[in-house]
Amino acid sequence: MGACASAAGRRDVPWEVIALARALGPFIVVGVMCGVSRVRIVVFAPFPLWVRSICGSISLLSTFYAFTRLPVGDVLTLTNLFPLWVAILSWPLLGHPPTRDVWPSLAMGLIGIALIQQPHLTEGNYASFAALVASVMSSLAMIGLHKVKNIGTRAIIFHFSIVSMFACLMNLWISGHMDARLLDVPQSAWWPLFGVALSATAGQFFLTLAFTQGHPARVSIVGLSQAGFALAYDVVLWGRSLDTTTIVGMVFVLGPCAWMMWRAEEQSEIVVTPPEPDVPAEIVEQQK
């Protein structure tokens, strides 16, 4: 999805239109699935679901703004900071204070951010901050999703699809160029826009499937591999040359995130065995 979005941006497609393509694909596919399966659509949703959908929509817009102004690898590295923000924001929002290893992880992440941003800031490109906003909004969306217990997965996805579609259309309308921007898309950009919609729909489907079938922390760790794929796209498709500062910055960002996810998985697998009641030895022998 990131590679297709970057390709569309290189063909002078406005980022607002690319974000709309991202929202349109899941909106159509999930809407059809809900209609066929007769899934009850949630209209008057609880507040946490609105938090998930609104913050997720802000994250979507911020991410696609960054996709058209930064290398894909940098965007996906910065947006994958969300585990650190989740660990920190869970303290005031959920009452779960962060463990001691969160603070050095956060410090390493901030150093990594500075290293990644440094060459872009030198050029006067401040799109890295949009990627950071996307990571914070993603963490708030996940915290909101954590509080939703009694709503089906497809209903949650469709609610987010509706809100994100509305947010993208409002963004186009506020810009004052809705008709012009939609009609001025060159023909050569239709295939990357279709790729954005298709890959976003497939990604959302398989990501939801992975999180429902597998361990969330383990799935999240595997999900960090997208930054590696994005770097490969940057190098192979657009001939990007990686400098040492950027590589070290990416390691400083992704390393603590992987550590936080691994720690969450390790702690969740700890099984507390209740103490066995005192049983006379003769009864134990009879049971044997």
pLDDT, tens digit (0-9, with 9 covering 90-100), for 64-113: 999 988 888 888 888 888 878 887 888 888 787 877 777 888 888 888 88
Per-residue pLDDT at 54: 93
Q: What is the mean pLDDT of residues 233-251?
A: 80
CA distances from residue 142 to 53, 136, 229 in whole angstroms, order as listed: 10, 10, 24
pLDDT tens track for 179-215: 655 667 778 888 999 999 999 888 877 876 666 565 5
Q: What is the mean pLDDT of the chain?
A: 78
Place of tokens 């994005």: 230
Residue 147 has pLDDT above 60, yes or no: yes
User: What does the domain layout of the chain look like in residue ranges?
Assistant: 2-266
pLDDT at 165: 92
Distance CA 101, CA 277 (A): 37
pLDDT score for 282: 47
pLDDT range class, residue 149, cuts 50, 70, 90 = low
Model's pTM, two decimal places? 0.77
Q: How far is CA 36 from CA 26, 30, 41, in A?
A: 15, 10, 12
Question: In the prediction, which pLDDT does 240 show?
Answer: 76
Residues near 54 by beta carbon (within 8 Å), at least 6 away in sequence: 163, 167
